[in-house]
A and B are shown apart, each in its own frame.
Chain A
Amino acid sequence: MQKKSSHKKNNSFSDRSNKVLPAVFVLLSVLLMLLPLESPVMSAKVLLSYIFVPQIRAAHGAVEYAEGVNKTIRALLDTHGENERLKEEMAQLRLENAQAREVFLENERLSAALHLQTPRIWGGIWAKTAYREPTQWNSVIIDKGTLEGVQERAAVIAQKDGEPVLAGVVLEAQEHTAKVLLLRDEDFSAAVYASPSGEEGLLVGAGAADMKMQYLPFLSDITEGEKVYTSSASGLFPAGILVGEVTQVGDEEGMHSSLTARVEPAADASAIRELFVLTKPTEKQK
């Protein structure tokens, strides 16, 4: 004889509800799945965000605190050496910044003289990965939202070996969190160019496989190993951000009209911890 909770036994089992309830919830789930991912579901998600986000923030805070204790002790031990190194780096960066400012002003003057579009100044904020589900490896949730200036369709940049690399784009932004669509997702696309060949193309995600750089001229000189950067033709991303490396070039369509290059993203989705979310660029007016 099976032992069962008395609580359950005390409540007389209703065969009818046992059959009706699963049917109702299965039907509701299927309806939710069949609805287009547009207004009704998005509205539901916004409503749910008010219910779920507080827990998310609490858990994120707990993990950060736990990590922080370990890191703080280690950091304290390394502080002096790090402080000296940062001072040296800051002096070097101040010098480079002064030089860059001169070049920037010169560029502004020349752009104005040639009636070219004035350069855009990109700014942004740092955010941490607050949630990453392995089965949803195409997206992560960050701990900054609209209240901190994060907007939908904002470019998101990660760091790899100290260099900025493109990580993705903001898909949904709530008040305190935002969902970032990563490069490998099929819905991701960006105008890019390969260096040193200079060939431009459209980069699109390809799921678990390497990304695809499409619409390259059939007779282009692009080769394996070339670095791929964001193009100035892109309105969403600042130009010159490293995206990845060409791993393969071929005529995937078989139409002999254009080439497709396979690009391995520089940003490792599973290793992303801190992200820099770009805020709206300002047009520098002369």
Chain B
Amino acid sequence: MSDTLKIFILFIVSTVLHWTFMTIFGGVGISLNVMLVFACAVCAFMKPAYGYPTAFVCGLFLDFFGVKLFGNNALTFTLCASMVYALEKRLDFEAPVPQMLGVFGLSLFAVLFNVALLKIFTGFSAWTGFWPFVAGIVLNALLAPAVFWAVRRTCCKEKNN
């Protein structure tokens, strides 16, 4: 199966998971961003020709739900993809701890950058409070090893076999 098709199938699964987790955690104000973790995982294991478009489309998927601004998540995710490619020289994304640390830092950046973009372009404050913010990025980090494992197993099988 081609890499593009594999990524597309993983993307579909991620959107379903993202929606499911958001429906469960959204009620208590926690924003678990499966799409960001998935985009980071693809960038960590795949070359830029796959990573950047995936990150951009994942961002567009989230922009689809916004009412204020369109493109802010696409920009955030593209920048996150750049950071993953920059970090890969320093972090070993094959181990769970660096995966969690990387996703933790990128989630932190993504939320703050998104809040700033919405504030600058629309004057709208998307800040939901400190504890929901912390809970969201911690949950993203905890989810990272599972998502990275799924992406690595699906897209980089020759390494495993």
Contacts and interface: CB of A to CB of B under 8 A. Distances in A.
Interface of A: 2-8, 10-11, 13-14, 17-18, 21-22, 24-26, 28-33, 35, 37, 41, 44-45, 48-49, 52, 55-56, 58-60, 62-63, 129-139, 141, 171-172, 179, 181, 185-186, 207-208, 270-271, 273
B79 A132 contact: no
Contacts of A135: 31, 111, 114-115, 126, 128
A169 B91 CA distance: 47
Contact of A26 (B53, B63, B79): B79
Kindly name the residue among A131, A135, A136 whose own CB sees the greatest number of chain B CB atoms within 10 A.
A135
Interface of B: 12, 15-20, 22-24, 26-31, 45-49, 52-53, 55-56, 59-72, 74-75, 78-79, 81-82, 85, 88-89, 92, 94, 111, 114-115, 117, 121, 123-128, 132, 136, 152, 155-156, 158-159
A29 B47 contact: no
Nearest to B11: A55
Given A2-B89, A7-B46, A17-B48, A60 B19 contact: yes
Contacts of A271: 27
B125 A31 contact: no
A8 B67 contact: no
Given A7-B46, A52-B61, A130 B67 contact: no
A273 to B, nearest CB: 8
A132 B47 contact: no
Contacts of B45: 5, 7-8
Question: Top 10 A-B pairs ranked by shortest CB distance?
Answer: A32-B71, A29-B75, A59-B19, A33-B71, A7-B156, A132-B26, A29-B74, A21-B52, A55-B15, A25-B78
B27 A4 contact: no
A136 B47 CA distance: 32
Contact of B56 (A17, A28, A30, A60): A28
A33 B31 contact: no
A200 to B, nearest CB: 28
B32 to A, nearest CB: 9
30 contacts: A4-B88, A4-B94, A6-B159, A13-B48, A17-B49, A22-B52, A29-B56, A29-B59, A30-B71, A31-B71, A33-B117, A33-B121, A37-B70, A48-B64, A59-B15, A59-B16, A59-B17, A129-B23, A131-B22, A131-B23, A132-B22, A134-B26, A135-B31, A135-B114, A135-B128, A136-B67, A138-B67, A179-B67, A207-B125, A270-B29
Given A21-B48, A33-B117, A58-B16, A134 B67 contact: no
Nearest to A272: B27
A129 B65 CA distance: 13
A213 B154 CA distance: 55
Contacts of B52: 21-22, 24-25
Contacts of A63: 20, 23-24
Contacts of A130: 23
Nearest to A187: B67
A122 B22 CA distance: 33
Contact of A181 (B12, B67, B74, B155): B67
Given A11-B47, A26-B79, A139 B67 contact: yes
Contacts of A133: 22, 26, 31, 62, 65
A6 B158 contact: yes
B31 A5 contact: no
